[in-house]
């Protein structure tokens, strides 16, 4: 009953955001909503998108409308998918499977983070093959190679190498709240959980979220250390990943035309223009402002995916108008599930589609 009421109150991403703020423990909401340093870039991303105004054209027969999009040779029903996000089940128990099922329902891709709270194999099954796998190279490159083997065996055709986190940036709110993995529960966190009993009880009943790709590592290699340096990742690393992965390879977190051109030359199949939703270099440009330069640099035929700041269907249109072929949505789907689980997610996806 409560669920039906919550979803009926959602008419925009802002509504979902407000509801999730009430329903989630502060430490969890802040992990999702937070950004790096002064936290301004996350707002600047959306503000810059908002500044782009579209020209309405008239008297064209638009009786038949379709939003289908082909990216990397795959046909999707909409020009957007779900961005990779680690520890997704913190937003609500079962969030990963909600994302997977919603991607299958809409025929759109869902990106499975290496730090996903459900195994890549299970995500592939639940999404009916709509999953793309995202990877970081931490200190142990062998673990990434193992994940690529698992992905290939499972049937994955797209891998994403995220390169914009050489070191995890300072996340002000996480530091203030004492957010860490493995979770440490002191009096402050205990109070936070106790005052959000629905989330806390559901989470306890469903099991504390864990990075399941690590937990199921056959070689025992993978140990998830969120703050471990990824600083060794360089052009040679990209070469090794490219040699290893025979499927489509996307390089995510690109904000410079020079880097984009070099990544294209090194044989990646696409780049993802992104500043990590303002969660990494806080003094970087708004991602949307960089997009046209990158499009110009790589030419018209090289696939570009865009994320960072998308908060509506119009924002997706804006990104396509400025040179993207496809967009990914991050926080809005987490707000949606935090607000009202699977119904909240469905509501937000439908709003974006409309």
Q: Are 340 and 19 in contact (CB under 8 A)?
A: yes
Residues in binding contact with ligand FNR, number by CB under 6 A: 24
Q: Does 25 bind ligand FNR (CB under 6 A)?
A: no
Q: Minimum distance between the CB of residue 277 and ligand FNR, rounded to whole angstroms?
A: 3
Candidates 19, 24, 28, 32; binder of ligand FNR (CB under 6 A) is: 32
Candidates 331, 340, 343, 347; binder of ligand FNR (CB under 6 A) is: 331
Q: Are 203 and 94 in contact (CB under 8 A)?
A: no
Length of the chain: 354
- In this structure, the strands spanning 69-71 and 74-76 are antiparallel
- Using CB under 6 A, which of the segments 14-22, 200-208, 259-267, 275-283 binds ligand FNR? 275-283
Candidates 69, 171, 252, 295; binder of ligand FNR (CB under 6 A) is: 252
Q: Which residue is nearest to ligand FNR (CB)?
A: 330
Closer CB to ligand FNR, 196 or 279, in the complex? 279
Q: Does 330 bind ligand FNR (CB under 6 A)?
A: yes
Print burial letters for 230-269: b (CB count within 10 Å at least 16), e (below 16).
beebeeebbeebbeebebbbbbbbbbbeebbbebbeeebb
Closer CB to ligand FNR, 327 or 343, in the complex? 327
Q: Does 308 bind ligand FNR (CB under 6 A)?
A: yes
Q: Are 112 and 86 in contact (CB under 8 A)?
A: no
Q: Does 162 bind ligand FNR (CB under 6 A)?
A: yes
Q: Does 83 bind ligand FNR (CB under 6 A)?
A: yes
Q: Does 305 bind ligand FNR (CB under 6 A)?
A: no
Q: Does 133 bind ligand FNR (CB under 6 A)?
A: no
Give the containing element (helix H, strand E) for 69: strand 69-71
* Residue 61 tokens, joined: 């027969």
**Span 177-236, contacts to ligand FNR by CB under 6 A:** none
Print burial letters for 198-220: b (CB count within 10 Å at least 16), e (below 16).
ebbeebeeeeebbbbbbeebeee
3-state secondary structure of 137: coil
3-state secondary structure of 180: coil
Closest CA to 307 of 251, 268, 252, 352: 252
- Using CB under 6 A, which of the segments 169-177, 188-196, 290-298, 301-309 binds ligand FNR? 301-309
Candidates 44, 115, 286, 348; binder of ligand FNR (CB under 6 A) is: 115
Closer CB to ligand FNR, 323 or 338, in the complex? 338
**Which residues in this chain contact ligand FNR in the complex, by CB under 6 A?**
31-32, 45, 83-86, 113, 115, 134, 162, 252, 274, 276-277, 279, 307-310, 329-331, 334
């Amino acid at each position: 009953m409560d669920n039906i009421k919550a979803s009926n109150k959602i008419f925009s991403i802002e509504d979902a955001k407000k509801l999730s703020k009430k329903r989630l423990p502060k430490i969890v909401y802040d992990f999702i909503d937070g950004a790096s340093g002064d936290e301004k870039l996350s707002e600047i991303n959306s503000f810059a998108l908002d500044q782009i105004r579209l020209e309405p054209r008239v008297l064209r027969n638009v009786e038949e409308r379709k939003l289908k999009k082909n990216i990397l040779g795959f046909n999707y029903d909409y020009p957007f998918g779900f961005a990779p996000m680690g520890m997704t089940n913190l937003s609500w128990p079962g969030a990963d499977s909600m994302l997977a099922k919603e991607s299958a329902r809409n025929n759109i891709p869902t990106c499975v983070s290496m730090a996903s709270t459900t195994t890549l194999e299970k995500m592939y099954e639940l999404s009916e093959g709509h999953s793309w796998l995202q990877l970081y190279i931490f200190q142990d490159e062998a673990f990434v190679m193992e994940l690529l083997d698992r992905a290939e065996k499972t049937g994955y055709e797209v891998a994403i190498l995220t390169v914009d986190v050489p070191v995890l940036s300072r996340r002000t709110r996480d530091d203030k709240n004492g957010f860490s993995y493995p979770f440490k529960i002191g009096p402050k966190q205990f109070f936070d959980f106790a005052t959000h009993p629905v989330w806390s009880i559901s989470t306890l009943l469903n099991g504390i979220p864990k990075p399941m790709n690590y937990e199921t590592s056959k070689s025992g290699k993978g140990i998830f250390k969120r703050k471990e340096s990824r600083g060794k990742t360089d052009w040679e690393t990209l070469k090794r990943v490219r040699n290893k992965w025979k499927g489509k390879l996307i390089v995510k977190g690109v904000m410079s035309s020079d880097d984009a051109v070099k990544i294209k030359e090194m044989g990646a199949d696409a780049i993802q223009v992104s500043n990590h939703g303002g969660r990494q270099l806080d003094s970087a440009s708004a991602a949307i402002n960089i997009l046209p330069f990158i499009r110009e640099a790589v030419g018209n035929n090289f696939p570009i995916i865009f994320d960072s700041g998308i908060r509506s269907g119009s924002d997706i249109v804006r990104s396509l108008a400025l040179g993207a072929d496809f967009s990914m949505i991050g926080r809005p789907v987490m707000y949606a599930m935090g607000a009202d689980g699977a119904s909240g997610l469905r509501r937000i996806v439908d709003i974006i589609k409309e």
